[in-house]
Amino acid sequence: MLPLITAILPKALEILDDVIPDKDAAQKAKLTMEAKLLEAATAQNLAQANTNIEEAKHRSVWVAGWRPAIGWVCALGLAWNFIGYNLTMWGLAISGRADVQIPPLSGENLMELTFAMLGMAGLRTYEKFKGVAYSKNMCIKHLNHCDFVFLFDDDCFPTNPNWVKYCTSVFNETQEAHFLLLNKVIHAPYYQYALGMYYFDNCGGVFMAFDNRKGLFKKVGYMDTRYKGWGFEHAGYSNRIHRMGFNTYAYIMPQYLHEYIYSMDYSGGVQSSISNEAKQSNYYDNYQVFLSELNDKPKYKPFKQ
């Protein structure tokens, strides 16, 4: 049911705007529709969970064992993507066979199957329907009382136990309020503007770090929720932070951040969890939102849920 909701709901909400002229009434109808559909999806998930419990009690391994079998397939796939692939590519490189290319597993399919096995399929559906900007705004909403906030994509993670100490030391030493994990090839060109600090011409949002001690979120607000799906939401937010005086440049990265934070997207170890079709579907509309953000005077943006 969740994939069906994801496909139908955006169109249904657009129709409500056409048939209900009053904006407040239309918004209320949208929230009611979302709540009812998600309630139905949750009921279906609970029914499936009860079925799974009964199957697990069955004497036959063919009835009780199929879910654990799929679980181990997911575990082996994740182990390959996170560990095996990178160790294999490293071994090929040091043995002089860097020319050998091994295709990575599909990150999107693997993560969706894993989430489904864990009973969290709705989380991915929620992000795909609401969009990346909405999902990250929810994080900011619940964390905006913290001094430091770090937002990771699902295939990005710390590799050094001192990563928080390093990130906070960067904030203390540079007085910047925001930086990103960027790639010197994908996001080139880049330039050094201070000791140990680089600024880039392009943006990526796999890891976003914020220093909120000077009231960053209270003054800048949230990502623009006009961005749909995926694309430009991180660039728009980083530009607003820069233009409102919190950062020297929009897209900046500390020199040694890659020694503390690792992104599978950047390494090629896993395919992006967002398909090329999904990226292209909202590209033009999101680019227009990005341009309007650049042309407008930067100001606080509320979270329109």
pLDDT tens for the 305 residues of the chain, in order = 445 555 555 666 667 667 777 777 777 776 777 677 667 666 766 666 677 677 677 777 777 777 788 888 888 887 887 778 778 877 887 888 767 777 766 665 666 666 666 655 554 455 555 678 888 999 999 999 999 999 998 778 899 999 999 999 999 999 999 999 999 888 889 999 999 999 999 998 899 999 999 999 999 999 998 888 788 999 999 999 999 999 999 999 999 999 999 988 787 655 555 666 666 778 888 999 999 999 999 999 998 76
**Which two three-digit tokens encode residue 186?**
């994908």
119 with 49: CB under 8 angstroms? yes
**Which two three-digit tokens encode residue 110?**
């693997």
Distance CA 228, CA 281 (A): 9
Quote the pLDDT of residue 154: 77
Q: Is the pTM of this model over 0.75?
A: no
Which residue in 198, 62, 217 sits closest to 137, CA to CA?
Answer: 217
- Specify the residue for token string 């790639």: 183
Q: What residues contact residue 218 under an 8 Å CB cut-off, 6+ apart?
A: 144, 300
206 with 199: CB under 8 angstroms? no
Distance CA 169, CA 266 (A): 24
Distance CA 29, CA 298 (A): 31
Distance CA 274, CA 230 (A): 8
Distance CA 78, CA 75 (A): 5
Q: What residues contact residue 231 under an 8 Å CB cut-off, 6+ apart?
A: 279, 282, 283, 286, 287
Looking at residue 258, what DSSP letter applies? G
The count of C-alpha atoms lying within 13 angstroms of the C-alpha of 158, restricted to the half-sphere facing its C-beta, is 11
Question: Which stretches of 113-201 are assigned E, i.e. beta strand?
Answer: 148-152, 156-158, 178-180, 190-194, 197-200
What's at 35, amino acid-wise?
A
Quote the pLDDT of residue 6: 53
- Edge to edge, the sheet with strand 207-211 lists 148-152, 207-211, 178-180
What's CA 126's distance to the chain center, in Å?
12
Residue 17 CB neighbour total at 10 angstroms: 13
Which residue in 228, 37, 6 sits closest to 126, CA to CA?
Answer: 6
The count of C-alpha atoms lying within 13 angstroms of the C-alpha of 3, restricted to the half-sphere facing its C-beta, is 2
Distance CA 81, CA 265 (A): 11
Q: Is the dihedral of CA 165, 168, 206, 136 positive or negative?
A: positive
